[in-house]
Amino acid sequence: MQRKIIIDEAGVLMITLLKYGRLSLLELREKSDLSNQTVYNNVKRLLEMGLIQEELEETFPRRRLISLTEKGRKVAEKLEEIEELLKMEMVD
């Protein structure tokens, strides 16, 4: 995913979750192409803002699964719309 200046790393994570649904931290890092530290810091920030939620898997090994809240889904949809508008401007 090509990042735009207007869409920061937290936005990249939210758009990734919008596209792929519930992901483990490892899957989120791989699909977003961000570093471990960046993912960890932004997951913490997004949790505090109520834009994502986490749950522990019941099976071993227990993974932290991250997904968008309803509020987070709405924000991510707007961010995705902005990203698409920026791509269109580059083509014009």
**Over the stretch 47-76, which tens digit does the pLDDT of each residue have?**
999 999 999 988 888 889 999 999 999 999
Contact yes or no for 3/12 (Cβ under 8 A): yes
Overall fold of domain 9-84: Arc Repressor Mutant, subunit A (1.10.10)
The residues pairing with 56 across neighbouring beta strands, listed in sequence order, are 64
Contact yes or no for 86/6 (Cβ under 8 A): yes
Contact yes or no for 30/12 (Cβ under 8 A): no
Residue whose token pair is 């699909």: 31
- Domain spans in the chain, listed from the N-terminal domain onward: 9-84
| pLDDT tens figures, 3-57 | 445 678 999 999 999 999 999 999 999 999 999 999 999 999 999 999 999 999 8
Task: Write the DSSP symbol of residue 50.
Answer: T
